[in-house]
């Protein structure tokens, strides 16, 4: 998750690079009496040390090397055990192994950082150090971990590669243990200050259920901001998230479900890795100039000729009648396994709508197009964002024709009538179309 601005290169950055090239000194060392030698590395070391609030800083080629240097500088070596979180980047483990020490995995707590209670259980007579990893910009419980280290005469090493600039009770992470390491690699965590500002805005703008914790809201915010940054960095128009993937949940801890304005100003988002759904959303957005909604059919009412549709995941809140109708609550689909995840619940506003499903049937793409009206009123579902649609076509006919096309259960829905535009677009593209 790249930090904001990392990819922006302006005149200032260009001048700094050219100054080095023109100096003729391409290494950290040079003649101090030569005005051409700018000592860029040394100045960076001094600046980082000053920001971190420590006496010294040493620049190396990577975060992995920084950890290895820290271990070596503190005398950690063959036979020593170093307690490290089981959930971390591989560098935390590999640096210990390179130092010929033994990594001892400890559990993480709900913050995804080292659990002090399990750290205490893992201490043996061979334990030499505790390596704490501040994951995803979130500082670990340093007071407790430092107390344990002091009690057992252990070293405390801070891996801050994903938490550059973060503070713990007023102090910069990396300045609290015997050694701390930073990394300027582009794929590091979103700064905690940005997450905090986003969370404050969410709390000020929407209702938040009492079950949602500050920690959970921050984690959900960080993942959603990360998706927005990815869209901006890659200049994407559409994204298809595999939001039910075990890998996504294992890596991110939860799925992105919170509205980020910059994300939906640029792109549309489908779930379940459905590329056809993402393209359908993009078509509706371009044709209607309104926010589309990714949905699946939950249930139906034959008497009212209505469908209840919706989908868990991240949605454009401009679909809601008003901000007052939006509630941030725990992600109902993962409330047991991921207690910190949360989504934004609302019912889509009333108005005429167009429905579109785009999929590939063996070797040809098909567009299935329908229409109706989104009915307003009270929520029909205590769950993810949803809409209650009264179809133009009788329900039995709708289902019969839809099934015959071979389509999936997913529909892109948008307010407004763009049926004729979709028909014309299908003809231009040479795509099969079915009107229901």
Domains of the chain, first to last: 39-181 (3.40.640.10), 193-435 (3.20.14)
Tokens of 421: 């535009």
Task: Give the range among 124-128, 298-302, 378-382 with minimum mean pLDDT.
Answer: 378-382
pLDDT band at 28 (very low <50, low <70, confident <90, very high): confident
> How many Å apart are CA 258 and CA 126, to the nearest integer?
45
Mean pLDDT on 344-353: 95
Evaluated on CA atoms 382, 386, 387, 388, the torsion sign reads negative
The 3-state secondary structure of 298-326 reads EEEECCCCEEEEECCCCCCHHHECCHHHC
Residue with tokens 């090239």: 21
- pLDDT value of position 248: 76
> How many Å apart are CA 373 and CA 199, to the nearest integer?
34
pLDDT band at 186 (very low <50, low <70, confident <90, very high): low
Burial level of 107, CB count in 10 A (0-12/13-18/19+)? middle
Mean pLDDT on 220-227: 91
Residue 411, SS3 per DSSP:
strand
- pLDDT value of position 190: 73
- The per-residue pLDDT for range 146-163, each reduced to its tens digit, is 999 999 999 999 999 988
Mean pLDDT on 184-188: 61
Mean pLDDT on 6-14: 76
pLDDT of 138 higher than 70: yes
Tokens of 61: 């080629």
pLDDT band at 1 (very low <50, low <70, confident <90, very high): very low
Evaluated on CA atoms 356, 359, 361, 363, the torsion sign reads positive
Percent of the chain predicted with pLDDT > 70: 97
Residue 258, SS3 per DSSP:
coil
Evaluated on CA atoms 208, 212, 214, 219, the torsion sign reads negative
pLDDT band at 251 (very low <50, low <70, confident <90, very high): low
> How many Å apart are CA 419 and CA 294, to the nearest integer?
17
> How many Å apart are CA 91 and CA 160, to the nearest integer?
12
Q: In terms of Cα–Cα distance, which of 227, 134, 129 is closest to 173?
A: 134
Q: How many CA atoms lie within 13 A of 248 on its CB side?
A: 16
Residue with tokens 């060392």: 29
pLDDT band at 188 (very low <50, low <70, confident <90, very high): low
For residue 195, what are the contacts with CB-CB under 8 A and spacing of at least 6?
137, 218, 221, 222, 225
pLDDT of 75 higher than 60: yes
Q: At what angle do helices 192-205 and 214-234 cross, to 10 degrees?
A: 110
- pLDDT value of position 334: 85
**Mean pLDDT computed over every residue of the chain:** 90
pLDDT of 189 higher than 80: no
pLDDT band at 205 (very low <50, low <70, confident <90, very high): very high
- The per-residue pLDDT for range 353-384, each reduced to its tens digit, is 999 999 887 778 899 999 999 998 888 888 89
DSSP string of 135-164? GGG----HHHHHHHHHHTT-EEEEE-TT-T
Mean pLDDT on 53-73: 93
pLDDT band at 2 (very low <50, low <70, confident <90, very high): very low
pTM of the model: 0.61
- pLDDT value of position 185: 66
- pLDDT value of position 33: 86
Tokens of 394: 């009788």
Residue with tokens 């609030």: 53
- pLDDT value of position 233: 81
> How many Å apart are CA 390 and CA 413, to the nearest integer?
13
Sheet arrangement for strand 81-85: 102-106, 81-85, 127-133, 155-159, 179-181
Mean pLDDT is highest, among 87-101, 181-195, 238-252, for 87-101
Task: Give the range among 43-52, 215-224, 334-343, 345-354 with minimum mean pLDDT.
Answer: 334-343
Residue with tokens 């078509």: 283
> How many Å apart are CA 111 and CA 206, to the nearest integer?
24
pLDDT band at 123 (very low <50, low <70, confident <90, very high): very high
User: What residue spans of 235-320 are helical by DSSP H?
Assistant: 246-252, 261-266, 275-288
């Amino acid at each position: 998750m790249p930090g904001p601005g990392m990819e922006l290169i302006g005149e200032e950055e260009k001048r700094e690079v050219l100054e080095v090239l023109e100096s003729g000194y391409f290494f950290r060392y040079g003649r101090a009496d030569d005005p051409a030698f700018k000592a860029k590395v040394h100045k960076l070391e001094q600046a980082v040390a000053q920001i971190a609030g420590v006496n010294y800083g040493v620049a190396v080629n990577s975060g992995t090397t920084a950890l290895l240097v820290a271990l070596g500088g503190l005398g950690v070596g063959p036979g020593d055990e170093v307690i490290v979180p089981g959930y971390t980047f591989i560098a935390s483990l590999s640096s210990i192994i390179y130092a010929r020490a033994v990594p001892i995995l400890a559990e993480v707590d709900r913050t995804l950082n080292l659990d002090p209670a399990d750290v205490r259980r893992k201490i043996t007579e061979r334990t030499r150090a505790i390596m704490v990893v501040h994951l995803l910009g979130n500082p670990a419980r340093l007071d407790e971990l430092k107390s344990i280290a002091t009690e057992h005469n252990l070293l405390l090493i801070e891996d801050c590669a994903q938490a550059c600039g973060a503070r713990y009770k007023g102090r910069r992470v990396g300045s609290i243990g015997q050694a701390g390491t930073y990394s300027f690699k582009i794929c590091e965590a979103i700064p905690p200050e940005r997450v905090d500002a986003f969370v404050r805005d969410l709390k000020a703008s929407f209702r938040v259920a009492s079950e949602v914790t500050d920690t959970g809201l921050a984690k959900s915010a960080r993942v959603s901001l990360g998706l927005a940054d990815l869209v901006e960095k890659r200049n994407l128009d559409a994204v298809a998230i595999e939001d039910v993937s075990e890998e996504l949940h294992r890596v991110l801890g939860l799925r992105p479900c919170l509205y980020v304005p910059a994300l939906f100003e640029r792109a549309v988002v489908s779930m379940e890795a459905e590329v056809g759904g993402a393209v359908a959303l993009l078509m509706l957005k371009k044709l209607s100039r309104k926010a589309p909604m990714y949905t699946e059919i939950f249930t139906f009412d034959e008497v009212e000729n209505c469908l209840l549709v919706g989908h868990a995941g991240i949605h454009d809140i401009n679909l809601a009648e008003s901000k007052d109708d939006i509630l941030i609550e725990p992600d109902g689909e993962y409330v047991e396994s991921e207690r910190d995840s949360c989504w934004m619940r609302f019912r889509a506003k009333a108005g005429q709508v167009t429905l579109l499903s785009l999929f590939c049937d063996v070797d040809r793409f098909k567009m299935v197009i329908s229409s109706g009206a989104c009915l307003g009123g009270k929520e029909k579902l205590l769950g993810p964002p949803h809409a209650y649609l009264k179809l133009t076509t009788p329900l039995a006919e709708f289902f019969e024709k839809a099934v015959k096309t071979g389509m999936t259960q997913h529909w892109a829905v948008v307010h407004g009538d763009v049926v004729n535009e979709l028909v014309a677009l299908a003809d231009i593209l040479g795509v099969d179309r079915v009107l229901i």
